[in-house]
Amino acid sequence: MNKKIAVIKGDGIGPEIVTEAMKVLDRVAEIYGHTFEYDQLLMGGASIDVNGIPLTDETIERCKAADAVLMGSIGGDTNTSPWYKLPPERRPEAGLLKIRKSLGLFANLRPSVLYPQLAGACPLKEEISSRGFDMLIMRELTGGLYFGARKTEEIDGVMTAIDTLSYNENEIRRIAIKAFDVAMKRRKKVSSVDKANVLDSSRLWRKIINEVAKDYPEVTLEHVLVDNAAMQLVKDPAQFDVMVTENMFGDILSDEASMITGSIGMLASASMNETKFGLYEPSGGSAPDIAGQNKANPIATILSAAMMLRFSFDMSKEADAIENAINNVLDNGIRTGDIMSEGMTKVSCSGMGDAIAAAIK
């Protein structure tokens, strides 16, 4: 199978970690008889340096012409980089907002996985961390409180701020369908998080989720109030498979889930539209303090590439091969600096990429 991948290496450690993901993808292509064609593009600070803006229309069109986008980290040191002396609409992160809107990326998928080999890095009690966990939080990305009408004004002599939380049934239905589709590729359980005991938007959310669930009889559905969900994430994260929720709740819960894994360098993410097209990137930042030093952990980006194979290309065997290779490498005690512990073997960014590629079968 031939697939065209738009590659945006980005800034900071981005070029290093994406290079290792491409190395692993090339190994997958070799073993499984595929061809991956890469169209390398600029975005963020790298694009500002060349084009004067963080994202060009040409880059957007070339992304649309690809089967998926693989991206590294965007941005730099906000205190020292000249990029942050520019107006907000010309700074690196403005490119992220624009590309999400231009590609119609409404569903953010963020896996939170605690590998048994890294249980010691988890801040939870050992009785919890020793069981490990593997969940995926799906956050609606383009609606809700963050995109509603807002204003600050004086009312009867008192300064008052108003933010509007709104969702329509179509916005809810499309994220629900995406959540159930993903659950069918995992353990067939969906936990829908809302605040239906208080919010009208959540009551509509729950109604539409229930309607969509009828089309997926194999998937178990549960409804969880957001305050309870936050507690359950630190009490028993292993109970969750796919968690789907609205924009603000997802923003908060996905950050909580990332902390309990112990290292953000292990966390992949994807943003998808209504087709199988997606943009795949690590959850972490550009880490300018270690850029160019071959120290970064590329596992999050490599796992993002595995998500691309699974969700955009329907290559589940190949995605499994990458994930199994990462497990084997961790079993063998190979670590980058951020996950290093006594008795393990410390490797560079490229060394980790080499080890994972060699372990793919």
- Determine the Cα–Cα distance for residues 186 and 180; give it in Å rounded to an integer: 10
Catalytic pick among 200, 255, 289, 314: 255
Whether residue 77 lies in the annotated active site: no
Decide: 238 and 131 in contact? Cβ < 8 Å.
yes
Whether residue 195 lies in the annotated active site: yes
Whether residue 9 lies in the annotated active site: no
- Determine the Cα–Cα distance for residues 52 and 56; give it in Å rounded to an integer: 9
Catalytic pick among 194, 195, 216, 354: 195
CA distances in angstroms from 139 to 93, 167, 339, listed in the order given? 19, 13, 27
Catalytic pick among 227, 236, 289, 320: 227
For 2, which DSSP code? Answer: E
Give the residue among 182, 188, 176 at the shortest CA–CA distance from 217. 188
Catalytic pick among 26, 77, 134, 251: 251
Catalytic pick among 4, 146, 189, 295: 146
Whether residue 57 lies in the annotated active site: no
Decide: 2 and 55 in contact? Cβ < 8 Å.
no
Whether residue 227 lies in the annotated active site: yes
Range 143-182 burial, b when 16+ CB lie within 10 A, else e: bbbebeeeeeeeeeeeeeeeeebebeeebbebbbbbbbbb
DSSP E strands, 87-207: 107-114, 133-140, 150-155, 158-163, 189-194
For the annotated catalytic residues, the residue numbers are 146, 195, 227, 251, 255
